[in-house]
Amino acid sequence: MRKRIRAGKSFGCRAACSVVRHRRAPHMKKYLLPILQAAVTVYIFARLFGDAELRQNAARALAAADFTWLVGAACAAALSEILCATRWWVILHAFGLPLRWRDAVAFSAIGLFYSLGLPGSAGGDAVRTMYLMRLFPEKKMASAFSVLADRLCGLVALVVFMTASLAWNHEIFLSGEMGRVIVLSATSLLGGALLLLGLWWTTSIPALGDFVRRRHPRFSPHLLESGAIFQQMAQQPRAVATGCLLATIALAAHFLGYYFSSRAFGSPLQIGSIFSIMPIVDTLTMLPVALYGLGLREALFNAVLGAFFGTPSATATLISLGGFAAQAVVALCGVLFLPFVKFLGPTSEARRQK
């Protein structure tokens, strides 16, 4: 032990400290992003509620709030999640994973619960993928593809609502400078995602696949295997169309929850107004800037509703927080499925296939 200490001294204090830092770095890195996101959330809320007038108006709105509408918002959020689970169940059968509907709902609920503990939707997706790989160990690639295909259906629904919103409200969206910047940012972000999706799709083209194998032999297997998801989706057009339809209805139920939140705080906003701004807000809150989108979502509600519909800042902030609170309550209910997950298993059809 003394020799080791002396050897450490011979290298100098800086060298020893660098070794310790190198060993601790991987553990610190996984907490760095959540810490930064939490800092951004706290900063935005401090800026918002640092306004004394906003605090007073928010207190009056809370005192006069009809919380029955927030119960309706929670029901709308629950309906949205059930439709999302049904969408995933349809995709699962298309990928040869015959999971029961109730099991798909249970896995989705547990994934939703873990998404609160693991910031970002990727945490819940990882949990769903893990459970599937345990149930179908011989179909690990199909398990991962089913979750990706489920997300792609959700992206299609978001594009549909964004396109409809821009077509219906383009004159309003281009009227104010701040609103114009926000709308263009959301459109650019969604357009960039579609561009990357298109580039990903090209990896499923045989000629391009041969080119990638020749030029990048080490990288090509993983890239080409992931591109095969588009080939599998193309072989099941009816399931994919059903998944996109369910995703559209689920997203509408999600938007409906925020409309109920607006009614809870006495806002005169029409349902069309909420549906027109929600695709913009949801697109921008996909950025991993704030913790669960908190703070960023409220700032966007303030800017968009204030610029386009003249909604007071306090009311816009409470509408956003009420909608998120309804979603959080539904997500927390996912813990109720944890005691039963060990009893979940594949269907008899899956057992026969094994």
User: Is 132 a domain residue?
Assistant: yes
Residue-level pLDDT at 155: 94
- Tokens standing for 52? 């004394």
* pLDDT, tens digit (0-9, with 9 covering 90-100), for 54-104: 899 999 999 999 999 999 999 999 999 999 999 999 999 999 898 899 989
Residue-level pLDDT at 170: 76
- CA–CA gap between residue 296 and residue 327 (Å, rounded): 16
Residue-level pLDDT at 14: 46
User: Is 22 a domain residue?
Assistant: no
Helix (H, G, I), strand (E, B) or coil at 229: helix
* pLDDT, tens digit (0-9, with 9 covering 90-100), for 129-167: 888 888 888 888 888 889 999 999 999 999 999 999 988
- CA–CA gap between residue 340 and residue 354 (Å, rounded): 23
User: Is 62 a domain residue?
Assistant: no
Residues sharing a CB contact under 8 Å with residue 15, sequence separation 6 or more, in sequence order: none
Residue numbers of the domain that contains 250: 68-192+230-347
- CA–CA gap between residue 310 and residue 280 (Å, rounded): 17
User: Is 63 a domain residue?
Assistant: no
* pLDDT, tens digit (0-9, with 9 covering 90-100), for 203-218: 777 776 666 667 766 6
User: Is 34 a domain residue?
Assistant: no
- CA distances, 279 to each of 15, 125, 149, 247 (Å): 52, 21, 20, 13
Give, for 49, the enclosing helix (H) or strand (E).
helix 13-49
- CA–CA gap between residue 310 and residue 271 (Å, rounded): 15
Residue-level pLDDT at 219: 59
Burial (0-12, 13-18, 19+ Cβ within 10 Å), 38: middle
Residue-level pLDDT at 198: 84
Residue-level pLDDT at 223: 61
Q: Which residues of the chain have pLDDT under 50?
A: 1-26, 120, 343, 345-354
Residue/partner pairs of 242-246 with CB below 8 Å, 24 or more apart:
242/87, 242/90, 243/87, 243/90, 243/91, 243/94, 243/149, 243/150, 243/153, 244/153, 244/156, 244/157, 246/83, 246/84, 246/86, 246/87, 246/90, 246/153
User: Is 128 a domain residue?
Assistant: yes
**Which amino acid is residue 203, in one-letter code?**
T
Residue-level pLDDT at 251: 96
Residue (of 54, 66, 47) closest to 267 by Cα position: 66
Residue-level pLDDT at 91: 94
Residue-level pLDDT at 18: 43
User: Is 246 a domain residue?
Assistant: yes
Give, for 201, the enclosing helix (H) or strand (E).
helix 177-202
Largest CA distance in the chain: 77
Residue-level pLDDT at 93: 92
- CA distances, 150 to each of 23, 46, 68, 246, 308 (Å): 38, 37, 32, 10, 33
Residue-level pLDDT at 29: 66
User: Is 123 a domain residue?
Assistant: yes
Overall domain count for the chain: 1
